[in-house]
Amino acid sequence: MSITDLKFEIDRDSKTPLWLQIRNELFNCLYRDELRPGQLIPNEKTLVELFNVSIGTIRKAVGMLEKEGFLIRKQGLGTFVFQHDNSSFLFEYFHFALNGSDEKQSPKVEFISFDSKKATKSQAAELGLPVGSPVFQIYNKLGLNKKFYIVDKIIIPQEKFPGLTEEIFKGRANTIYNLYQNKFNIFITNCSEKLKAISADEKISKLLNIPTSAPILKINRVGQTYNNVTIELRTSFVHTSDIDYIHSQNSTFGESI
Amino acid sequence: MSITDLKFEIDRDSKTPLWLQIRNELFNCLYRDELRPGQLIPNEKTLVELFNVSIGTIRKAVGMLEKEGFLIRKQGLGTFVFQHDNSSFLFEYFHFALNGSDEKQSPKVEFISFDSKKATKSQAAELGLPVGSPVFQIYNKLGLNKKFYIVDKIIIPQEKFPGLTEEIFKGRANTIYNLYQNKFNIFITNCSEKLKAISADEKISKLLNIPTSAPILKINRVGQTYNNVTIELRTSFVHTSDIDYIHSQNSTFGESI
DNA sequence: TATATTATATCATATATATGAATTTTATTC
DNA sequence: GAATAAAATTCATATATATGATATAATATA
């Protein structure tokens, strides 16, 4: 079923603008996987006919989805559905740089372990599952400049990742989010991180080769997909003597006052 | 000198689009303080005449500046120059929430000290000043929920803040960035933060009433104004047992790829 | 075959215009 | 004087259209 075969209902009397209705219809196509990652979406002229509005309205709708990160427009080529890959990972989801540097660089990743576990109370609550539901627990080490500074613990619900094995996980050619997207049809749309300073416990201090009770950063990341459904819980333990967690911003406000 | 008296030179043969040229001209007005914080800018029709382009082009230029956070459009009212205030501070520059909460709330701020100092080597380098240049060093305590968790150390160059005194600083009715803006014509346009986990030293542990060498968050923030001129160095020391540093994001990419 | 040229497809910019929605100002009415 | 109604102002949405810029595909040429 191609998107061009679909019938879209646009309400010209609605108080929500046409461009927003169209944005929402297209968003639903992304959500329902009628437009798949990396795919070329219909060109503007086709969308004009599909929705029976003027091209400016289409451009505004597509522009919104581009701003939100779901679509990527390329002049002379077409508009594509966003796809997680190494460069987007570095640009968007990796927040560390070596001391004194403002330039991020790709970390090296080393697999540690892959286990089947039962969700703890808090994990189950965050994932919206019954306590004790099967989850995968994965440990990775991340490093920069020949040294490892980060231990990642990933918790994902097994029901959302049927058939995932250690081999598949280790054998991925791209980022973890790309794996979610391509093998399991799960597209991470947003992440929220909470940071604390804690003392390293024995396990972490061994993995990172630092003294026990050294101050480290603990980052709890919640990764969600469409409609704010939580998919992944990731806890990072970071030894920050040689690297910084960086967070830049300008005074941009989105839509608020 | 009103902006409507200015003559703007738009090059219709330039390879940079008209809307971007106009955006840059308006940006320069902000930069040169011809459009002041809180001020109403000319309406779209006036801008059309001023730049001699169509209204769509004006709307694109203004829309860009709105997206960047410099202008705020209000339907039926007009377009205004952004102004730092308490709500923008909370929304944009305060990154802490109580454990378990995703909602930020306004911190209480308590003044600690205001001193005249000489810039250290690293401070001078970051501020682009000779070593030993006079700076103000200000300490504040920030709290949530009747307890203090954050100590802020602020370093600003005295040359940029002529006449600033402890009384003026303490007597401000609004945020610190609002003070910079309204009393000293300095508009902070962007901030960049670097976080580390460290052990509390004696001074911080006393101020926050925690054990010495407890793990705390150390945040180095660099506040800049137009053209990436560094204005403020702020170091926050945060006791994170009851609060989190929060950082949310969606997959938005700005203009990249 | 390899290279240069041309054509085509697609998004980007720009103009012109009409109508709607939200806010403030002014006028009217009681 | 206060409440209400009308008008004016300003940004928001929407249509229609023309031209430009960029990337790819097709064709012609050496």
A contact residues 144-203, partner B, Cβ 8 Å cutoff: 188-199
Looking across all nucleic acid strands, the nucleotide with the smallest C1' to CA distance from residue A75 is: C11
* pLDDT (0 to 100) of residue A251: 54
What digits encode the pLDDT tens for the residues B32-73? 989 999 999 999 999 999 999 999 999 999 999 999 999 999
Q: Does A54 touch chain B (CB under 8 A)?
A: no
Q: In chain B, whose CA is at the least distance from the CA of A101?
A: B194
Which of A23, A32, A25 minimizes the C-alpha distance to A1?
A32
Cβ neighbourhood burial of A256 (10 Å; 0-12, 13-18, 19+) = exposed
Query: A250 vs B69: CB contact, 8 Å cut-off?
Result: yes
For residue A180 the two structure tokens come to 């979610």
Rounded to 5 degrees, φ, ψ at B245 are -85, 125
Locate tokens 């679909």: which residue? A6
CA of B47 to C1' of C17 (A): 17
DSSP state of B5: G
Q: Which residues of A touch B224 (CB under 8 A)?
A: none
Q: Which residues of A touch B190 (CB under 8 A)?
A: 248-251
Tokens of A216: 């480290």
Q: Taking a contact as any Cβ pair under 8 Å apart, which residues of chain A between 8 and 47 contact chain B?
A: none
CA-to-C1' distance for A53 and D12, Å? Answer: 17
Q: How far is CA A60 from CA B22, B67, B136, in A?
A: 20, 14, 47
Could you report the per-residue pLDDT of B72-94, keeping only the tens digit for each? 999 999 999 999 998 888 888 99
pLDDT digits (tens, 9 = 90+) for B162-221: 999 999 999 999 999 999 999 999 999 999 999 999 999 999 999 999 999 999 999 999
Q: What is the pLDDT of residues A101-132, one digit of tens each?
A: 989 999 999 999 999 999 999 999 999 999 99
Amino acid in position A200: A
pLDDT tens by residue, B8-17: 888 988 889 9
Mean pLDDT of A87-99: 91
Give me the pLDDT at residue A257, please. Answer: 20
Nearest residue, CB atoms, A193 vs list B193, B216, B247: B247
Residues in Cβ contact with A42 at an 8 Å cutoff, skipping those fewer than 6 apart: A3, A4, A50
Q: From residue A120, give the alpha-carbon distance in Å to each of A132, A138, A229, B91, B175.
A: 6, 15, 18, 33, 42
CB-CB: which of B191, B194, B240 is closest to A244? B194
A92, A188, A197 ranked by CB distance to B216: nearest: A197
| Residue B251 pLDDT level (bands cut at 50, 70, 90) | low
Rounded distance in angstroms from the CA atom of residue A168 to the C1' atom of nucleotide D13 = 49
pLDDT at B257 over 70: no
pLDDT in tens, A147-162: 999 999 999 999 999 9
Average pLDDT, whole number, for chain A? 92
Please say if the pLDDT value at position A57 is more than 60.
yes
What string of H, E and C letters represents the secondary structure of B40-101? ECCCHHHHHHHHCCCHHHHHHHHHHHHHHCCEEEECCCEEEECCCCHHHHHHHHCCEEECCC
Across A74-99, average pLDDT? 92
Q: What is the CB neighbour count within 10 angstroms for residue A26?
A: 28
Nearest CA-CA partner of A139 in A129, A128, A152: A152
Q: Where are the alpha helices (DSSP H) in B79-163?
A: 86-88, 121-127
Q: Is the CB of A248 under 7 A from strand C?
A: no
As given in the structure block, the two tokens for residue B2 are 């009103």
> What average pLDDT does the segment A220-249 reach?
95
Record: contact A69-B217, CB cut-off 8 A: no
Task: Summarize the confidence of residues A207-228 as an average pLDDT.
Answer: 95
Q: Are B185 and B161 in contact (CB under 8 A)?
A: no
Select the residue of A68, A188, A247 nearest B252 (Cβ to Cβ). Answer: A68
What distance in Å separates the CA atoms of residue A256 and residue A79, rounded to the nearest whole number? 28
Q: Using CA atoms, how far apart are residues B253 and A68, in angstroms rounded to an integer?
A: 8
Q: Which nucleotide is nearest to B79 (CA to C1')?
A: D11
Cα–Cα distance measured from residue A251 to residue B69, given in angstroms and rounded to the nearest whole number: 5
The answer to whether A75 contacts chain B (CB < 8 Å) is: no
Give the C-alpha distances (Å, rounded to integers) separating A98 from A102, A107, B123: 8, 11, 19
**For residue B110, which of B208, B205, B233 has the smallest C-alpha distance?**
B208
Angle at B30 between CA B28 and CA B34, to 5 degrees: 95
- Residue indicated by tokens 């001020």: B39
Give the per-residue pLDDT at A256.
26
| Chain B residues inside the 8 Å CB shell of A238 | 197
Question: Between A249 and B75, where is the model more confident?
Answer: B75
Q: What are the tokens at A56?
A: 């400016």
Q: Quickly give A77 CA vs D28 C1' distance in Å.
A: 25
Q: Which nucleotide comes closest to A66 if you measure CA to C1'?
A: C11
Per-residue confidence (pLDDT) for residue B90, from 0 to 100: 86
| Nearest residue of A to residue B200, measured between CA atoms | A215
A215 touches chain B (CB under 8 A): yes
User: What is the pLDDT at residue A2?
Assistant: 81
CA torsion sign, A180 to A186 to A187 to A188? negative
pLDDT at B254: 33
Query: Measured between CB atoms, does A206 come within 8 Å of chain B?
Result: no
How many interchain CB pairs under 8 A, A with B?
A: 142
> How close A110 gets to chain B, by Cα (Å)?
23
pLDDT given at position A91: 84
Query: B252–A69: do the CB atoms touch at under 8 Å?
Result: yes
Report the share of chain A in percent with pLDDT over 70. Answer: 96
Alpha carbon separation from B248 to A58, A128, B102 (Å, rounded)? 29, 20, 10
